[in-house]
Amino acid sequence: MLSRKENTYITEIGPGTPMGNLFRRYWLPALMAEELPEADCPPVRLKLLGEDLVAFRTTSGRPAVLDTWCPHRNANLFWGRNEEDGLRCVYHGWKFDADGACVDMPNEPPRSRFAEKIRQPAYQAVERGGVIWVYMGPPDLSPAIPELEWTLVPPSQRSVSKRIQECNWLQNLEGEVDSSHANFLHAQLGPDRRPVRNDERDEDLHPVFSILETDYGLAICARRDAGTDKYYWRITPFMLPSYTIIPGTYGGSYTFTGAVPRDDTSMIGITATWNLEHDIPQRPFVEVDANYNSLQNKRNDYLIDREAQKTVSFTGIRGVRVQDMAVQEDQRGPISDRTTEHLGASDTGVIATRRRLLAQAQALHKGTEPSQPHDPQAYRLRSMAVVADRSVPWQELMAEHMHIPTTLTMSS
């Protein structure tokens, strides 16, 4: 449970808010590269951290992000003409380059120097791993791109998808660090109509949780008994500001999720699966429309099938990610009221994640910059799901299973 003040502090991300300032220290995955498929392609709308932006790709192929409201008289640059390395407002023809400089002002006298005084807010953008990342913080603190493994493997060995989720970003992140929900929300029903565990090692429904504070964020560890002499460990890394890798692999593929705030009541969900050995199918986690909105959504009750809920699945909702969305998009509204919660032992990961976020935002508020934005190698991580002798310390298992080799190098 959080106080009302803490709940506001941790969820709000607009300009000038403490958590908004924290998010403005990191590169954020915001657009699929395919949204800007080629040089001079149509601009796209982008909402990020409560700001209305427009993204485009310049003639030279560079992704660019500007404030969407024209500084002349607030027309929307989304209608603009993307031409010759800049975006030209269609109202009176002012043109801006990728850095926000006003490079043409055709409706002013030829000798006017007015354009030199005009600057449109512009944010750095870069393409990595099939995604366009945006940095919205102070230019002099520009961070390094996090070396997440899925951004380092060949494109055919990863599948990245995007969806808009209609809730505050923290609700999605909390779901990712809460491993106890998987045995319920995502369960299938057996012939006896009781939930079937994905894995017999999950039969122990009461794992013991522990948390390790790390340079990237937290290692959230769930330990279950496996026979009399072994433990089954599942470790989820929470990487600041809002990234996780769920424990274990599906067919050798890992799964990354990023909960990126659009505004206080909606977010961009980026999910990436990747495999180190072979190509994987390019498949979205959620069926979406052209604007990345889920076809199963709160307006159609996520197409819940109550008969299926009795007979084959715990929720009656098709798709793991949609099951998450159904519960996360309305937890007493799009911004959950955390003053009314009752948290138990299984919420250890959720509690620790909130604490770390609050501490990091408060530290920044007092002038201490976060370290992760300048430590890209801290993001060279996997999740872990292993059975090991009880005598082996989990920190040792983490060192062996979670850190990825430095031989994989950055390519765009």
- Quick check: 89 binds ligand FES (CB under 6 A)? yes
Distance CA 52, CA 61 (A): 22
Using CB under 6 A, which of the segments 87-95, 115-123, 296-304, 355-363 binds ligand FES? 87-95
User: ∠ at Cα 329 (323, 331), nearest 5°?
Assistant: 105
**Alpha carbon of 90 to those of 73, 307, 308: distances in Å?**
12, 53, 52
Position 211, amino acid: I
Comparing CB distances to Fe ion, the nearer of 149 and 324 is 324
The candidate with the shortest Cα–Cα distance to 93, out of 82, 85, 84, 104, is 104
Q: How far is the CB of 118 from ligand FES (least distance, A)?
A: 10
Count, residues near Fe ion per rule CB under 5 A: 1
| Contact residues for 405 (Cβ-Cβ < 8 A; gap 6+) | none
Residue 206 touches which of ligand FES, Fe ion, none (Cβ within 5-8 Å per kind): none
- Residue numbers 55-84 binding ligand FES by CB under 6 A: 70, 72-73, 75
Residue 75 touches which of ligand FES, Fe ion, none (Cβ within 5-8 Å per kind): ligand FES
Residue 54 touches which of Fe ion, ligand FES, none (Cβ within 5-8 Å per kind): none
The candidate with the shortest Cα–Cα distance to 296, out of 316, 325, 272, 268, is 325
Q: How far is the CB of 95 from ligand FES (least distance, A)?
A: 9
Contact between residue 255 and residue 246 where contact means Cβ atoms under 8 Å apart: yes
Distance CA 205, CA 217 (A): 26
Q: How far is the CB of 109 from ligand FES (least distance, A)?
A: 15
Contacting residue, 33, 39, 85, 91, with ligand FES by CB under 6 A: 91
Site string for ligand FES, 12-51 (x = CB under 6 A): ----------------------------------------
Contact between residue 163 and residue 169 where contact means Cβ atoms under 8 Å apart: no
Which tokens belong to 96? Answer: 């801006």
Residue 92 touches which of Fe ion, ligand FES, none (Cβ within 5-8 Å per kind): ligand FES
Contacting residue, 324, 379, 381, 402, with Fe ion by CB under 5 A: 324
Distance CA 105, CA 88 (A): 9
**Which parts of this chain interact with ligand FES (CB under 6 A)?**
70, 72-73, 75, 89, 91-94
